Structure 1
Amino acid sequence: MTPQPSHTIERIGIDESGKGDYFGPLVITAVFVDATTQGELRLMQVRDSKKISDGRILEMAPDIKTICPHSVIAIGPQRYNELYEKIRNLNRLLAWGHAKALETLLERVTCERAISDQFGDERLILNVLQEKGRKIVLEQRTKAESDLAVAAASILARAEFLLRLKRLSSEVGTTLPKGASPAVDLAAKMIIKKHGQERLGSVAKLHFKTTKAVIAGLA
């Protein structure tokens, strides 16, 4: 098989972490991959972060950051809640984060193509892209994590999410579980009992149904 010329291999992968987690930030990451780094990522066995343990993700992330130009946009719970209050739509918030991550990286690299997961209307991201981002061909597809650049972005996003979730856990003195589950509900109750209801907004995404359920359960 004839190897592809590097200009067709060069691309930016974009992915996010934290959108389904009640606690912690929303993190969107963009990673630039070329012919050289693609080979290195393959050797590192980079794949979709959902198929890798948290411990391994935290080990792999610094190596990916070393070899690949990247940008990380982390929206902490407090800022997330402010933005959601204004935007009132998770897909529009995700689109804003994807555009920001892409444009931040395009300040450092020149690239003609980007790949991201498909969510909502594909025009959402295109509508919020600024001048630099509008020159790029943005490919949105389902199961985009099968692409190496998107898989690398998914690992960096998850690693950043995990580190920030741990930091938030230390700040409130309660382990903040991932996802949305009875353990998450219990942690939310503990925070309200320890610190008051207003503190929840500094660690959690308040528009989740969990918030109403927990507050109603404490009434």
Structure 2
Amino acid sequence: MRTARRIIGVDESGKGDFFGPLVIAGCLAGSEDIAFLTELGVRDSKKIAPKKLLSLDEMLRSRLVHTVIVYLPEEYNRLYVRLKNLNKLLAIGHARCIEGVLNQKEADLAISDKFGKEERLEDAMAELECNIPIEQIVRGEAIPQVAAASIIARAEFVRQIDKLSSQCQMTIPKGASALVDEVGRHLVAEHGAEILSKVAKTHFKNYGRAMKPKLPLQL
């Protein structure tokens, strides 16, 4: 099926980051767009420097039909409490992205970077009556359309983190490291415990660590 002329690629960014939203993007590229994607050097967004990432994002958005869904932390946390499973939320988001692209232009096939049981995405698409063949592939960024979607999603995530940094008046780190815990503790000390549900994903283990004040060093 990957010989199909019009393919929708779907990928996400932010699922492994305590701070910031979950972003899911889908974009359509036909056979006539492959040379364009190759010339841009489209590849896995995690391997692209932030400045280059934002530049590529602008070019991809101007050329390709696309949909971007942003689950800001407060909405993300509400949905996670209801669904109790990240992959269920990813399935809904991926299906909505595919639907959003199809509402703009017809396609022959959708390819998603695989994130869990295949039935979850298939069921989510069926619920939306989204009738298009779907492939779910491990390391899907090897497919140009999925790589393009990963760039669009990552660029939007980077913009959202930059916006969050401005709002919090400090640099908000990506990932889920010890530095993330430290920044979380600082935000709780400055703004109260309720701040975390507005800026972070509260089911992460970082949440519990950020809620505990740092103990003084015992000598």
Same fold, judged at TM 0.5 (above): yes
Which of 58, 64, 68 is matched with 2:60 structurally?
64
Task: Please say if 1:30 is aligned against 2:23.
Answer: no
When normalised by structure 1's length, the TM-score is: 0.93
Deviation of residue 169 (structure 1)? 1.3
2:140 aligns with 144
When normalised by structure 2's length, the TM-score is: 0.93
1:209 aligns with 205
> Any gaps of 5 or more consecutive residues in structure 2?
none
Contact 1:106 1:132 in 2 (8 A): no
Task: Please say if 1:127 is aligned against 2:103.
Answer: no
Query: Within 5 Å, which residues of 2 pair with 1:25-174?
Result: 25-129=21-125, 130-133=127-130, 135-174=131-170
Contact 2:4 2:108 in 1 (8 A): no
Counterpart Cα distance in 2 of 1:51 and 1:173:
28
Counterpart Cα distance in 1 of 2:213 and 2:3:
57
* Secondary structure of 2:27 counterpart: strand
Counterpart Cα distance in 2 of 1:193 and 1:201:
14
Query: Number of paired residues?
Result: 213
Deviation of residue 174 (structure 1)? 2.1
* Secondary structure of 1:174 counterpart: coil
Contact 2:95 2:128 in 1 (8 A): no
Identity fraction in percent: 40
* Secondary structure of 2:151 counterpart: helix
Counterpart Cα distance in 1 of 2:144 and 2:3:
16
Counterpart Cα distance in 2 of 1:14 and 1:43:
20
Contact 2:27 2:148 in 1 (8 A): yes
Counterpart Cα distance in 2 of 1:190 and 1:173:
12
Contact 1:23 1:204 in 2 (8 A): yes
Which of 178, 188, 193 is matched with 1:182 structurally?
178
Deviation by residue 1:7-44 (Cα, 9 ceiling, x = unmatched): 72310000000000000100000010012211111111
* Secondary structure of 1:111 counterpart: coil
Structure 1 consecutive aligned stretches of length 4 or more whose deviation exceeds 3 Å: none
Contact 1:174 1:191 in 2 (8 A): no
> Any gaps of 5 or more consecutive residues in structure 1?
1-5
Counterpart Cα distance in 2 of 1:88 and 1:174:
31
Deviation of residue 120 (structure 1)? 1.5
